Amino acid sequence: MNSDNIADALSSALTSAGKSWKQAKRQADREDRVRSSDLERLRYRERDTYISEAVEMVMEQAYLQASGDGEYPANARQIMYVARPLVLELTGDKAWKNSAYFTQVLLPKFIEDNPDLTADWDVVYDARGNLNEPHGGLRVPLGTLEVRDYIAKWDSGEIDMSIIEDAIEIPSRHRFITVLFVEKEGFHELLKKAEIAERYDVAIMSTKGMTVTACRSLIDFFSERDVRVMVAHDFDKAGLGIYHTMISDSDRYIYENKPNVIELGLRLDDVQKMKLTAEPVNYPSDPTRCLRDYGCTTKEIKFLYNGYRRGQRVELNAMTSPQFIKWLEKKFAEHGVEKFVPADAETLRDSYIEATKYVTIKDAVAEALKKFDPKNVKVPRDLAKQLRKNITGKTCSWSDALVELAETNQARHK
């Protein structure tokens, strides 16, 4: 496309738009990427509309630059930082005010609307919550890369009982079959104090606000592996929306497996039985239809919304700590949550053999330590020199090289 033709077509629009649109002309002249019709359309759009259209024009360029032409994964915020100056130049210094609008709305929408173009894109999103396995297991941030790595390793590994610090390594698939999702991250210390994870063998998951795509992909995977997710949420539009999102397909995520998700509450019945205190809430518009879509009964809708854009809500925080734990344990009992033992006989047999090996080696190590005398160890005079030689150009640490050197010298002196 001839850039002079672009400049001619834009002449009248740029004259009336003033100084800001001269920047758009320079962008067109430099890259020869923006059609005159695109810029003319931007001029007459509302702010949010023309920003989104400008984003569409630069998104591919932003992704390719952020990802090194697709060689590496690109974080959504990295793409945003590349896209922002390009959009500012196109729109005359206008862009999104909140970074989440780009990372959670504009970018996902572009990917959804352009499946062929973005099929090979590797876009990752920041973690917005965590999954914590019971009994000292993994802590998994709910980000794209972290969840992807966790899922990849789920079926690998065997139970490994190490003599070092009495450590017992158990693969994730043998740790739990129930996940407790709590809308509020602030309940972590309470759940820890009550030993919920350990007493019930449940993993605990929470996110900041609405469930992110990484969280839903993990729920999808768990559902395939017969791991159920139990959801505790506020009794309000947002909390009900979180649960609804976890069990429903959306533009951003379509489940491959039927979500194995169980709602614990809060619901109106819980609120009334415990006589929990409600707080007032204002709505920008009538939420009735939305609440009905979320599965609310007529009574629940009347409780949450009393007309004139006003209503009330009840948070999980309305329960005292003893109330919350009692309520949670009651819900667990209703759904048969209990301590977990693998049902696979082969797994149990192999694990028992591993445990026996662990005890045998532990006894042998204890006996060897009784005979060990540090005075008999001959430390090389040029130890630092040997270590540097052994790690130069390699990925191992000096401590790994130290163990290897000790093994070599020990074998030499036998």
Instruction: Give percent above pLDDT 90 in the chain.
Output: 23
Contact criterion met (CB below 8 Å) for 229 and 181: yes
pLDDT digits (tens, 9 = 90+) for 170-185: 677 778 899 999 987 6
Place of tokens 């569409």: 56
- Domains annotated on the chain, with CATH: 3-124 (no CATH), 129-334 (3.40.1360.10), 377-414 (no CATH)
Edge-first strand order for the sheet with 310-313 is 279-282, 310-313, 305-307
Question: What is the DSSP pairing of strand 228-232 with strand 261-265?
Answer: parallel
Structure tokens at 278: 């409600």
Structure tokens at 193: 């104090």
Reported confidence tier of residue 169, pLDDT bands at 50, 70, 90? low
Mean pLDDT comparison of 44-48, 180-184, 257-261, highest-scoring range: 257-261
| pLDDT, averaged across the chain | 81
Residue type at position 231 = V
Mean pLDDT comparison of 33-37, 284-288, 297-301, highest-scoring range: 297-301
Q: Per-residue pLDDT averaged across 401-409, rounded? A: 87
In this prediction, residue 12 carries a pLDDT of 44
Residue 146 has pLDDT above 50, yes or no: yes
Give the span between the Cα atoms of 218 and 213, in whole angstroms.
9
- Give the E-state strand segments of 28-177 in sequence order: 74-75, 123-124, 129-132, 139-141, 160-161, 168-169
Q: Per-residue pLDDT averaged across 211-239, rounded? A: 90
Residue 77 has pLDDT above 70, yes or no: yes
- Give the E-state strand segments of 156-196 in sequence order: 160-161, 168-169, 178-182
In this prediction, residue 27 carries a pLDDT of 45
pLDDT digits (tens, 9 = 90+) for 6-36: 444 444 433 444 444 444 444 444 344 444 4
Instruction: Give percent above pLDDT 70 in the chain.
Output: 83
**What is the DSSP annotation of 103-120?**
IIIIHHHHHHH-TTTTTT
In this prediction, residue 89 carries a pLDDT of 86
Give the span between the Cα atoms of 379 and 382, in whole angstroms.
9
In this prediction, residue 157 carries a pLDDT of 65
In this prediction, residue 364 carries a pLDDT of 86
Give the span between the Cα atoms of 322 and 328, in whole angstroms.
10
Lowest average pLDDT, out of 18-27, 131-140, 228-237, 288-297, goes to: 18-27
* pTM (predicted TM-score): 0.64
In this prediction, residue 236 carries a pLDDT of 93
The answer to whether the bond into 291 is cis (omega within 30° of 0) is no
Residue 202 makes CB contacts below 8 A (sequence gap 6+) with 134, 176, 178, 179, 180, 196, 230, 337
Nearest to 222 by CA among 147, 273, 163: 147
Question: What angle, 0 to 180 degrees and rounded to 10, lies between the N-to-C axes of helices 36-43 and 76-91?
Answer: 80
Residue 406 makes CB contacts below 8 A (sequence gap 6+) with none
Place of tokens 């879509």: 293
